[in-house]
Amino acid sequence: MSIFEYAPAPESRAIVSLKPSYGLFIGGEFVDGSGSFKSISPSSEEVLAEVAEASEADVDRAVAAARKAYEQVWGKMSGAERAKYLFRIARIIQERGRELAVLESLDNGKPIRESRDVDIPLVAAHFFYYAGWADKLDHAGFGASPRPLGVAGQIIPWNFPLLMLAWKIAPALACGNTVVLKPAETTPLTALLFAEICQQAELPPGVVNILTGAGAAGAALVAHPDVDKVAFTGSTEVGRIIARTVAGTNKRVTLELGGKAANIVFEDAPVDQAVEGIVNGIFFNQGHVCCAGSRLLVQESISEEVLESLKRRMSTLRVGDPLDKNTDIGAINSAEQLARIKELTAAGEQEGAEAWSPPCELPSRGFWFRPTIFTGVSQAHRIAREEIFGPVLSVLTFRTPAEAVEKANNTPYGLSAGIWTEKGSRILAVADQLRAGVVWANTFNKFDPTSPFGGYKESGYGREGGRHGLEAYLAH
Amino acid sequence: MPTKDAQPARLAVRKTYKLFIGGAFPRSESGRSYVVSDAKGNFVANAAQASRKDARDAVLAARGAVAKWSGATAYNRGQILYRIAEMLEGRRDQFIAELRTFGLSAAAAVSEVDASIDRWVWYAGWSDKIAQVVGGANPVAGPFFNLSAPEATGVVAIVAPAEPALLGLVGVVAPAIVTGNTVVVVASPDRPLPAITLAEVLATSDLPGGVVNLLTGSPAEIAPWLASHADVNALDLTGVTDHGLAKELEVAAADTLKRVVRPAAVDWSADPGIARMTAFLETKTVWHPKSFEGAKGSAY
């Protein structure tokens, strides 16, 4: 099946004006770091900007700035005043939304349709939501006068750079904490633009500090003795290291880690909708989603029909320029991630599963991977157990609801799951038995600032979003 | 209790203090026991000294009990916790005597036993209320039903505080099990008798076997096996007083990302609050589209 011809509809880059180089954002100002590295666009390998690399000494400086701001300004400020700063930030994010969306797509490789319609609106919504909590914490159910923790060290991944920043910074600030945030090495630019937004909002210096850098800077931040709270989103492997590092200290920790979600399709499911949900579940954001529906569990009686329909739908997916408004699947975020996806898909074929991808041309420069499904997958296969974090779906079948639940739960992860069936009672019964923090029934990959997000088991602990998300930043 | 009379009118029948695993009272598979002494240093009993194998058996029993206990209705769990309070009340004098053996004054022993009974009653009432307090509907910006509800974390391994031997034990066990978790508890090493007698209460309260498993012995020996056990979901270190051991246990727990409650000084007579319950709860959030047409017309 051939793809309809579309004229390219590129979003203009003119709205983004990048500086050639960026410093670290400490104490309200951009300052020189100890080293530097380049952030490239994964869709073209073009160098977008040079950014400072934070050293241990820089982490010290940033934590000191955050401590000072906490003790002298932010920790003492009334909730109502903190709220107004956060509302200001939310408004500026809306005002500069297109600029942020274009920069996010440039730096991350995700389609502009997603950065523009999902990421950035959710970022603004998150700041609005937590702004409103800042002067209502007495009523949040964490005691009469809950106190902030102090300085939060926050480390975020590259898959939703600005959205993960919002998930971390908005509740921390609303509760009266100050933060030192380290964006991912490959996607630092929207965090630096956010630093400019903090300046525009006249946020007191030191309340938000942004340290660009790699794993070493993150490790120094986690281990820093003057950090009261560590919040991390990323791999389960790094999550374990963080949990070990903070053992024996008084640091509070929340971890949002990996996943291997089952998307369960029962025989009475509305097939067209389920196929859209499967596609959304695994190909949204190139599958760089910790809660991606990366294991399709389809009831045996309809597996052929679903697979045929899925393949047809996949043939219409457009892979290419992230800034083209028609693009469905953008670039893989980095050469390193592409290598990881290739390693796991090669293992899938070696172990006997069968790969299928629609014919599609990939750009010659940049990092790309075709949307891929594997059939004939067994539960023991690496592609059924390990997080691929790419546009790769493993398809397994089941006969009974009990078998579906058993297979869905047969993983150390427990972040999310999907259920597709017309039967309400079955949805509720299956949802009850799935060991996962978020269950999407007849939908998938929905996010909202009011809705708590986070995992069971080795997908981490703590919740982000909603009233629940306040708990991570309050002493109680 | 052994008596000190030179020529007792009747020789007392002593109790063998054993472990409590899966609803049964086995000796330690290691065959070991250790001497428990009263406040004056006199022999009281040979308590079972639990081993690694006992700890693993206890985890197995606890894991096996999760589905039934967490799947029971909140009302039913509340009824059973209240039943525990009733059974404890019935053995009030026995617990007072045991606590006095370890040097508590009559008034202090009465106060601790009464507080322990009342604590079970307090937690019994929480079983069908905690979900309403910590869960609820989320007003998402779209046509979706969205509900967050708490669920039990699973198997919780607990190092109970050495003192108060009964109230401290109740104070860590009740908040974990009332929400549907099952537990493996390392009891106070020097004062294990109230724990084992509490096990007799639990065994006669309709609490399913395996929901509470009690081990006596050395926390420093047993707890590391629990902290590193992949089938344990959470670790309560409240009773650990050695900072080095606490850190070692928390490091071991990180391998499977167990939820960890760190050691802390606790005023067991104060209102416990809900933090001990929420520490061993997961939040599950379920989304569903709202539509007149059913899923077929859903806004996926």
B270: which residues sit within 8 A by CB, 6+ positions away? none
Question: What average pLDDT is seen over chain A?
Answer: 97
- pLDDT computed for residue A1 by the predictor: 42
Decide which of B74 and A1 is more confident: B74
How far B227 CA lies from chain A's nearest CA (Å)? 13
| DSSP per-residue codes, B84-104 | HHHHHHHTHHHHHHHHHHTT-
pLDDT at A319 over 50: yes
Continuous segment of H or E residues that includes residue B194: helix B193-203
Q: Grade residue A2 by pLDDT with cuts at 50, 70 and 90.
A: low
**Chain A residues with CB-CB distance to B283 below 8 A:** 437, 452, 454, 463, 468
- Which residues are bridge partners to A39 per DSSP? A49
Residue among A143, A244, A421 whose CB faces B254 most closely: A244
Residue among A248, A441, A444 whose CB faces B250 most closely: A248
A 10 A CB-CB count for B73 gives 10
Express each pLDDT in A425-464 by its tens digit.
999 999 999 999 999 999 999 999 999 999 999 999 999 9
A98: which residues sit within 8 A by CB, 6+ positions away? A15, A116
- Which residues are bridge partners to B43 per DSSP? B37
CB distance B222 to B57 below 8 Å: no
Q: Grade residue A258 by pLDDT with cuts at 50, 70 and 90.
A: very high
Distance CA A70, CA A88 (A): 19
CA dist list (Å): A104 to A8, A111, A318? 20, 9, 19
> And the tokens for B255?
């391998």
Options 3.40.605.10, 3.40.1190.20, 3.80.10.10, 3.40.50.20; CATH of A21-257+460-475: 3.40.605.10
Distance CA A222, CA A220 (A): 6
Give the active site residue among A256, A387, A458, A464.
A256
The CATH superfamily label for domain B33-297 reads: Aldehyde Dehydrogenase; Chain A, domain 1 (3.40.605.10)
**Chain B residues with CB-CB distance to A448 below 8 A:** 138, 140-142, 146
Q: What are the backbone angles phi and psi of residue A24, rounded to the nearest 5°?
A: -85, 150
CA dist list (Å): A456 to A294, A435, A444, A460, B153? 17, 6, 18, 6, 8
- Residue B98 contacts A where some CB pair is shorter than 8 Å: no
- Which residues are bridge partners to A217 per DSSP? none
Average pLDDT, integer, range A335-340: 98
What interface predicted TM-score (ipTM) does this complex get?
Answer: 0.97
Q: What are the backbone angles phi and psi of residue A355, rounded to the nearest 5°?
A: -95, 145
Domains of chain B, residue spans: 33-297
Average pLDDT, integer, range A230-245: 98
Beta carbon pairs, A and B, within 8 Å: 127
**Any idea which architecture A262-441 has in CATH?**
3-Layer(aba) Sandwich (3.40)
pLDDT at A4 over 90: no
**pLDDT tens, residue order, chain B (300 aa):** 555 556 778 998 999 999 999 999 999 999 999 999 999 999 999 999 999 999 999 999 999 999 999 999 999 999 999 999 999 999 999 999 999 999 999 999 999 999 999 999 999 999 999 999 999 999 999 999 999 999 999 999 999 999 999 999 999 999 999 999 999 999 999 999 999 999 999 999 999 999 999 999 999 999 999 999 999 999 999 999 999 999 999 999 999 999 999 999 999 999 999 999 999 999 999 999 998 887 776 655
Q: In terms of Cα–Cα distance, which of B28, B82, B74, B71 is closest to B215?
A: B28
Instruction: Select from A272, A464, A468 the residue whose CB has the most chain B CBs within 10 Å, as the one to mutate to test that interface.
Output: A468
